[in-house]
Amino acid sequence: MPHLPSLEKDTTIIVLGASGDLAKKKTFPSMMRLFLRNCLPKDLQIFGYARSKMTQEEFHERLSPFLPGTSEEKEGFLKICKYIVGSYDEDAAFQGLTKEIEAHETKNGGEDRNRLFYMALPPNVFTKVSAHLKKNCYSTNGTNRIVVEKPFGKDLDSCKEMIAAMKEIWTEQETFRIDHYLGKEMIKNIINFRFSNPTISESMSNKTVDNVQITFKEPFGTEGRGGYFDEFGIIRDIEQNHLCQVFCLMAMEEPKHFTAEAIRDAKVNVLKQTKTISTDDVLIGQYSAANGKPGYKDDDTVPKDSVTPTFAALVLHVDNERWKGVPFILKAGKALDEGKVDVRVQYKSPTSEHFKDDDRNELVIRIQPKEAIYLKSNVKIPGQNNGTVPVELDLTYSNRFTNDYIPEAYESLIYDCLRGDHANFVRDDELFASWSIFTPVLHAIDAGKVPVKPYAYGSHGPAELEEFIAKYGYKRMSNYEWSKTNVGELEKRLHRA
């Protein structure tokens, strides 16, 4: 796929679903950040389009609390944001939108008429709206791009059906499928970190690695989204997309070139080498009421017989020379004890007889909060004690990159889309390969063939979790606390032990 032109001028952005939460909380604030950094095309106009009846002033009032910057900066951004009311199923409504777009383009007087359509909409209207856009709003004198949000289907068949319907309307080159995790700074850093550092690159294989965990934890439940969430569950909502993307970047081979298509080729290759998930490699759970918080099925919108998991630990096995025998454990859950996302590469135990009881090394990539990369290593305790203690070799971004701006995920991806860079967007064959791995176990769960374990709101997850991850070789460190314990305190504890 050739590199697309960068849209630096003569561009209009149309946000479909502009009255919704996604547009209000993510899309428009991200464009505002680009506006503050002078990263938007020259003379850009943004049209918000939705069914909700609002005046221009009401639309601006709705957006303003979520926008960064001063009142004056917000005012400057909102001047280029215009709201249009229209339906999603009538040609006449989209033709009215086109008249507004063309009026701006004529006034602007640019040579090209580039249009970027951002679908901040539920997936059940993707195909219908995209067809109306192509028929009524497509520019014949410029570049057209369409941005589509996840979810991309519920299983392999529904994904293929959605992609096929969209491809009849928009080309793969024009389509940008967002998984916002690919815009996060620490995830974008994985390729650089792995392949620009020989010590890291050489250590990433079954010769040295025992297991890898990719973890997503939220300290809150579905909170008003129970009915929507119950259609998907935690695996479809988080693991098949977000965590699977992280898995690809951690497990793939070095791309032949560092171009968008070569990177996506490498991701597809490792997915094709990954075995279908077995029901024996899955632990699922549902949170119950505790600590004054309601349980999942206490939500009136959730069926009382629901088997939809709010927690899942599952294991991916890559059948290739590099990773054969190394389990990749993906864990995700709601209503847990903390909020975090990280990758934990646990190396094999020390081979030296003298140090065989020491803790394992761990390479940790903390994606959020407080981005960091640190390596847990064993060092000698200072003084007369010849014992060792685990400490971290720490790169915490906020400490090291004090003057560097780290963009939000959506901000990065909208900028990439404007530049025509597909590297951090999901390709169609990548989706098919991923769904092929997850679909059988999802169907088994939907059919009630996998037992759902209860866990208390605010806990670590199901009581069976520790035994489950231990089965795949993970050993919890016995003597380690992150950044809280100094060497003197550790030495006292060791002496007491």
Domains of the chain by range and CATH? 11-149 (3.40.50.720), 182-247+274-405+448-471 (3.30.360.10)
Diameter of the chain measured on Cα atoms = 83
> What is the pLDDT averaged over residues 118-146?
93
DSSP, residue by residue, 458-469:
TBSS-TTHHHHH
Spatial distance between the Cα atoms of 387 and 491, rounded to a whole number of angstroms:
9
Could you tell me what percent of the chain has a pLDDT over 90?
A: 73
- Please check the confidence at residue 186 and state whether its pLDDT lies above 70: yes
Q: Which residues are catalytic?
A: 242
- Burial class of residue 240, CB neighbours in 10 A (0-12, 13-18, 19+): buried
DSSP letter (8 states) at residue 42: B
Neighbours of 423 (CB within 10 A): 16
Helix (H, G, I), strand (E, B) or coil at 330: strand
Helix (H, G, I), strand (E, B) or coil at 452: strand
User: Whose CA is closest to 55, among 14, 18, 20, 83?
Assistant: 83
pLDDT (0 to 100) of residue 482: 57
Tell me whether the omega of the peptide bond preceding residue 369 falls within 30 degrees of 0, making it cis: yes
Compute CA distances 443 → 229, 302, 368, 448, whole Å. Answer: 16, 19, 31, 9
- Burial class of residue 45, CB neighbours in 10 A (0-12, 13-18, 19+): buried
Rg (CA), the chain: 25
Q: What is the pLDDT of residues 419-473, one digit of tens each?
A: 999 989 999 999 999 999 999 999 999 999 999 999 999 999 999 999 999 999 9
Q: What is the pLDDT of residues 224-242, one digit of tens each?
A: 788 889 999 999 999 999 9
> Can you read off the two tokens belonging to residue 16?
């479909």
User: Whose CA is closest to 147, among 442, 416, 491, 432?
Assistant: 416
> Can you read off the two tokens belonging to residue 209?
């690695």
Q: Model confidence at 138, in pLDDT bands (50, 70, 90)?
A: very high
Neighbours of 210 (CB within 10 A): 20
> What is the pLDDT averaged over residues 180-208?
93
Spatial distance between the Cα atoms of 446 and 227, rounded to a whole number of angstroms:
16
Q: Model confidence at 124, in pLDDT bands (50, 70, 90)?
A: confident
Q: Model confidence at 492, in pLDDT bands (50, 70, 90)?
A: very low
Provide the angle, in degrees to the nearest 10, between the axes of the packed helices 244-251 and 428-446. Answer: 130
pTM surpassing 0.85? yes
State the average pLDDT for the chain. Answer: 90
Total residue count of the chain as it appears in this document: 497
> What is the pLDDT averaged over residues 36-54?
94
> Can you read off the two tokens belonging to residue 136?
């009524």
Provide the angle, in degrees to the nearest 10, between the axes of the packed helices 91-108 and 126-136. Answer: 50
Compute CA distances 249 → 204, 256, 472, whole Å. Answer: 12, 14, 21
